Every structure is written in C-alpha cells, then in structure tokens.
Amino acid sequence: MSRSAAPFTRFRLPGLAVALASCLLGLPATGQGQVRDRDARIPRAGSLWIELAPEFYSWNEQFAENSLETADGSREPLFADYDGSVAARLFPGLDPMLAVVNQDANALGFTPLTGSDINLGDLDFGSIDVFVRRIPLAFQLGVGGFAAIEVLAPLVKTEVETGFVFDSTTADVLRAETALADPAAFFTDLDAAQAQLQALVDGGTLTPEESAAATQLLSDTEIFQSALNARISGQQYLFTSGSTAGQEITGYYGGFETGFQSFGIALPAFALPESATRSDLNAYFARDPVLGQPLGKVTRGWAFSEIEIGARFKLLDNFGWPERPEPTQEEEAAPADAGQVAVDSAGEPASAPATAPPTAGGEATPIDRPGIQYRTTVGARYRFPLSDPDGDPYLDPDVFLQQPIGTGQADIELEIYQDLAFGQRFRVVAGATYGIQLQDELVRRVAPPGQPYAYASQKATVSRDLGDFLEIVLSPRFALAEAMSLAVEYTYWNKGDDVYETVGQGVDASPLTLETSQTRHALGIGAYYRTTRLFAAGRAGMPIDLAFLWQTAIGGSGGQTPSAGVVTVSARIPIQLF
C-alpha cells in the first residue's frame, strides 16, 4: 500500500502484560520506535521499567498533493490512485502487456493491438482501509540516577482491506483457457477434420488447384491450432467475442470453416466468451508480464519489525529529591519510619508538596517549591531492521496494496524532552525527536503514485535514502488527583523527500521519489494513572503507570501522507533490581 513507509504518531497500553508479552514475541512496526507515554523522567538507579504499549492505527484517507481534482493538503481516499481503467491508467505504459497479447497475432488472424485498443476492464473501488497493530515492548534501566539504558522491540501486524468491483463488461482480454468450453474436445475434432482433408490430398482425387487450396488450408489451420493451443496450455490471453480482436479471430476461423465445407468436411464450432470475469482480473496480476499478487486483502506480521537500543541522560532537574506525597492525617499522627525514603519510580519528585526528612538539627525542612519546576532529558537511539527490506513482511516488490510492518532500514534518532510543572495541578510535557534515516538498497517496482501497478520488467535494485524526520509533541496535563491526570496532546510530524537511485543498469528509479515528503498535524486526548509515587510513600498496593491516548490527524500534506488515527493503552511497571 505504502510506497514510502509512513511513520505515525505513537502511544501505549496498560499492562500487567509482561506475561502477555512473553507469549506474543514477534511483531512489526510501522511508525518510529519509541513508545508513547514519554516525558523527561528516567528510572532511578537500579530500577528497571518494563512497558507494554499496544497501538492501534487505522486510516482510509491520505493528504493529497495539488492536482486538477484535489487541492494540496486536502483529504482524498486511499483508492484515488488505484481506481479506474486497469490498462489505460493504472499500469505505467502498456508495452509489456501488448507484447504478450499480440504474440502470434498473424497466426490467429487479428490485427496487433495498440495502447488505445486494449482494455483490461475498470476497477471501481469503494474503499481501501489500512489497519496497523503495534505492540512495543520496552525496557529502561536506570544507571546512577542520571541516565538510563533502553531496549525496545515492537511486534507488528498490518492489514490492508479492499472493497472494489471489477467491471468485466469493459474488459476485452481474458484467460485463454476459458476461451473454449472444452479445449480437449475442440482440438480432437479439429485434428480429425484435418486428417480427413489430408486423406483427400493424399488420395489423388483432387484437381491440382483443389489440392493446392487444401494444402494451404491445412497449413493455415495447423498454424492457427498451434498458436491457440500454445495460448491455452501456456495460460496466456485471448479476447472477448465482442472485442475487435475477438471478432477478427472468429471471422478468421469462419474462413477455415467455409474452406473445409467446400471439401465436405465440418470443423468444430468455435466461439469466444462474451465477457471477462474476476478470475481474469486476477490473472492479469499473477501472470506474465505483471507476475505479482492479485488484488485482495493483504496481511503482514505478526513479526518483530526492528530493534532499538539507546540511552537517555538527565540534564536539568529542580523538582527536588527525595520527595513524597503530602501525608494524610493518619500519617501525620503516625509518621513513617525515619529510615524510609519516599520517591517515585524514577527516583524523582512528584508535584504534590511534602516534608523532607529531619535535618541534623532535628527540624523538618519543607521541600514544597512554589513557582515553575522543570526537568530536561536528552537521548539517542539506534534502530536496525530484522530482515531484508524488500522481503516479507517488509516491502515485497511482488505485492500490491500492502502496508509494510516497518521501513526495513536503520536510522539514528536524537531526542529531547522537557517537563514543566506550574504549582500542584498543571504540567506540560514537551518533546522533539529528530531521525536520521540511513541509506540502504532494496528491490522495487518503479512506478509513479498514479500508476501503482508496475510490470515485473520494471523491477530494479535501487539505492534508497528515506527523508529525515522531525516529530514534536506537546502535552498539557491537568491533575484531577494525586494519581490521576488528563491531557491534551498535539503531535507534529514532518519527513523530507526520499531519494531513490538505480543501482547499476536498469529502470530509472526517479518516479519513486514523487510524493514522498510528509507533514501531519495530530491532536488528541489522554488519561494517565500513576501509583509509583504513592507506592514509594507506602500509600498504594503496587507501582504502575497506566496511560490511554486517542489521537487523530487534523491536517497534513505531501500526497501520500496517511490521515491516521491511533488509540494507545500502555502499562509500565517499575522493578527495583538493586
């Protein structure tokens, strides 16, 4: 489906799902790698964060490029590039198909077709829907209280569902094996008629003129029979009875019937079908010269799409540490053990005020900090794919209408995240990720977006350099209670043009670069439930971070930028290893 693998926005899922994850090992990724409930926190020293964050993407529209039909950035259905005349518009040039359907044209008695003569039928799409299920399993280990090591493995499955009608009445071409009701009986009867005519020639009862006519008639019918048999047995193509070529073939055979009747011999009846079928459409894709997967539902995965490894570092932090939630009346009456240290799972404060342990003089020191609090972390990750980029489940060049599980190439991602807290209730999380996508090689069928079905002869090994991307996230959050907050989240996504170059001799790869830049704006809402800080204070039964996020695209451009929506539910469990 996707000509340039399109990353999306990401998010997450609730999860005591560590056990579930161990059962699910094996999924693909369509977006960039990090999971979604992202902020500037990092685990405290010796703490391991385990996170499972299923993401569910879906879309059936894209942000179009300026054309006669659509304005730049307007939404158009995904099938806009796939709907229409199979021959005239959807294939880039008809020469390969013409070479196949015109072979033995003289033997079969029809005039070779030109591009304006051939019609493979029309496709009338009602829908193309893309679904991506992505389950990133992430691990973050805190080191020294100021750094974290990360590993992420996304398990992915993609599906492309199509709904279309094949207008068989507009098709002139069909499978040769369906041209005759009983090919074996037809050729047996034709052989018998030819044997009778040969016997007359051999018997010497014909005049020289009759013998010459009969000999020529035998030669022509044998050539016709050989060409027809080769098309039928070789699973090639013939024509409908109403097409120009079909009428010419029928008329040519009618001349044989007249000739044989002049010698008192009857030929078997010959009639071509009136129209093509859906199976004929499938044959156009599965046979020479296309040699691709017929149109229909395409599923990729479940499989791991890539592995990411990285590190994050804390630069600034004035939230204070240690810190615990404000004590209840019971806790004030019966304070916790003096040796207990109350912190969140990151080894960092929460926004609620608290009282620090007594100082050496025995007095409690308040650590509630009015005004603005901030925390800044930076990080870097390296992403590498797990299989060949031009194979299943990535971008198989023989599959049309597919959504790969990932890009299939390596990249380096740099990020910065900033937390700002304003008093007890309001916090803003902001982040930016810049991805440098590294060059690789793969096999592609070269065709522009408006002609998405390329012939097998247009396969080429190409050098691919996907455009670098920038993702910016802004998430204002309002605390309803100590553990519960709501958020509005905005995501900006931008990717530059891809660059394709042919490796060695072959098809010019430049059409693959068309409409590959992407810009998308997405807006959504989220809810967060976190007990890690309360657990550290002895006020929660277990530490866990749960998050829910729904987001949808509100604008974009580029031509093939998915107008995607995503739902994520995530769960993060901290485990203090040492």
pLDDT in tens, 523-566: 999 999 988 777 777 777 788 899 999 999 999 999 999 999 99
**Confidence category of residue 52, pLDDT binned at 50, 70, 90:** very high
Q: List the CATH code of the domain at 18-170+286-319+366-576.
A: 2.40.160.40
- Mean pLDDT rounded to a whole number for the chain: 85
Measure the CA dihedral 295/301/307/308, to 10°: 70
Q: Supply the pLDDT for residue 250.
A: 97
- In the chain, where the domains are located: 18-170+286-319+366-576, 173-275
> How distant is the alpha carbon of residue 541 from its chain centre?
42
Q: Is the pLDDT of residue 230 over 60?
A: yes
* Axis-axis angle for helices 244-261, 208-233 (nearest 10): 140
Q: Supply the pLDDT for residue 68.
A: 62
**CA nearest to 37, candidates 379, 489, 410:** 489
Burial (CB < 10 A; 0-12, 13-18, 19+), residue 155, is: buried
- Which contiguous run of DSSP H or E holds residue 85? strand 84-85
Convert 262-289 to b/e letters by CB count within 10 Å (16 or more is b): ebebebbebebbebbbeebbbbbbebbb
Report the percent of the chain where pLDDT is more than 90: 71
Q: Is the pLDDT of residue 513 over 80?
A: yes
- Which contiguous run of DSSP H or E holds residue 461? strand 459-465
Q: Supply the pLDDT for residue 343.
A: 41
Q: Supply the pLDDT for residue 351.
A: 40
Q: Is the pLDDT of residue 496 over 50?
A: yes
Q: Is the pLDDT of residue 403 over 50?
A: yes
